[in-house]
DNA sequence: CCCTGATTCGC
DNA sequence: GCGAATCAGG
């Protein structure tokens, strides 16, 4: 298998979308996890939570003589300024539940299609203003797919209303709908909750409040998460 | 053990 | 450029 433009694009988007190299490799097919990582680095994209690269302490002058026979005298001098965009953590954002704010070309006055008139059991309010909910509280509130048309124009009509891999940007929700590789696989495409990779609705699913032990349920829907069902 | 990404190096 | 082998942390 060779790295065609499409395969590279898939790799790129999935990599940026947070998928692991294994998942990407499995999705692309015909390549190994190492191939994906190698290609990703060659493409220039890299970083992302690496278990190995993250730390850098207490190794400077600890055991210089532990390994005398250094098999790989690699000369390294790459100061990586650990760039942490600090995703959804402690963000003391003013909870303006109905102030979408910023680059919303066309979202007049209907940010959340589900105001939930009865206000069931919201656990907490996320930093971006989305509502955190328990894993089990997702059943009723997703009735109609809100008409979204913030995409300028589509060259191909059969994917006219779908956000494809190539349509992802910082402005649209990257929540995957379906599985990559399937014919109708696409992404949510809604306007993002400012500062997050997902829209408000999917932020509520991505960042769930912890439930007390015993009440927790195992299967939370994760993007690219579970085993493929083929 | 499993997983992860990073890096090296022969091709 | 490619990716298996290897490394190294979780």
The residues close to strand B, meaning Cβ under 7 A, are: A 20-23, 33-34, 37-38, 40-41, 46-53, 72, 74, 76, 78
Per-residue pLDDT, A214: 54
Q: pLDDT tens digits for A189-206?
A: 788 877 777 787 777 766
Q: Mean pLDDT of all residues in chain A?
A: 60
More confident residue, A215 or A141: A215
Q: Which nucleotides of C are covered by protein (CB under 7 A)?
A: 1-10
More confident residue, A76 or A123: A123
The residues close to strand C, meaning Cβ under 7 A, are: A 1-3, 31-32, 34-35, 37-39, 42, 51-52, 54-55, 59, 71-72
Distance A64 CA to C10 C1' (A): 24
Per-residue pLDDT, A198: 76
Per-residue pLDDT, A78: 38
Question: Is residue A57 situated within a structural domain?
Answer: no
Question: Is residue A54 situated within a structural domain?
Answer: no
Question: Is residue A32 situated within a structural domain?
Answer: yes
Question: Is residue A193 situated within a structural domain?
Answer: yes
Over residues A99-120, the mean pLDDT reads 43
Question: Is residue A223 situated within a structural domain?
Answer: no
Per-residue pLDDT, A129: 58
Q: Which nucleotides of B are covered by protein (CB under 7 A)?
A: 3-9
More confident residue, A219 or A200: A200
Quote the number of domains for chain A: 2
Question: Is residue A36 situated within a structural domain?
Answer: yes
Question: Is residue A9 situated within a structural domain?
Answer: yes
Distance A114 CA to C6 C1' (A): 52
Distance A80 CA to C3 C1' (A): 24
Task: Find which nucleotide's C1' atom is closest to A31's CA.
Answer: C3
Over residues A171-185, the mean pLDDT reads 72
Question: Is residue A196 situated within a structural domain?
Answer: yes
Q: What is the pTM of this model?
A: 0.43
Over residues A63-81, the mean pLDDT reads 39
Are A216 and A123 within 8 A, CB to CB?
no
Per-residue pLDDT, A123: 59
Q: pLDDT tens digits for A2-48?
A: 898 878 888 887 887 778 899 889 878 889 999 999 999 998 877 77
Per-residue pLDDT, A150: 43
Whole-angstrom Cα distance, residue A206 to residue A114? 17
A174 lies in which domain range?
Answer: 157-206
More confident residue, A44 or A168: A44
Residue A63 has pLDDT above 80, yes or no: no
Distance A69 CA to B11 C1' (A): 27
Distance A71 CA to B6 C1' (A): 17
């Amino acid at each position: 298998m060779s790295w065609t433009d499409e395969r590279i694009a898939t790799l790129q988007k999935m990599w940026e979308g947070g998928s692991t190299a294994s998942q990407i490799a499995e999705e692309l097919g015909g390549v190994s996890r190492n191939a994906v990582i190698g290609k990703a680095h060659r493409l220039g994209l890299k970083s992302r939570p690496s278990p190995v690269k993250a730390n850098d302490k207490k190794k400077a002058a600890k055991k210089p003589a532990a390994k005398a026979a250094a098999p790989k005298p690699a000369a390294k001098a790459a100061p990586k300024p650990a760039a942490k965009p600090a995703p959804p953590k402690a963000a003391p954002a003013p909870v303006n539940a109905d102030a979408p704010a910023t680059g919303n070309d066309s979202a007049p006055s209907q940010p959340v299609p589900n105001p939930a008139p009865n206000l069931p059991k919201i656990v907490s309010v996320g930093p971006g203003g989305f509502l955190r909910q328990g894993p089990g509280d997702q059943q009723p509130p997703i009735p109609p797919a809100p008409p979204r048309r913030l995409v300028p124009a589509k060259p191909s009509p059969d994917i006219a209303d779908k956000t494809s891999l190539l349509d992802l940007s910082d402005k649209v929700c990257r929540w995957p709908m379906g599985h990559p590789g399937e014919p109708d696989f696409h992404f949510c495409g809604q306007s993002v909750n400012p500062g997050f990779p997902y829209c408000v609705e999917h932020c509520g699913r991505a960042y769930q409040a912890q439930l007390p032990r015993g009440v927790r349920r195992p299967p939370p829907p994760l993007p690219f998460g579970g085993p493929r069902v083929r």
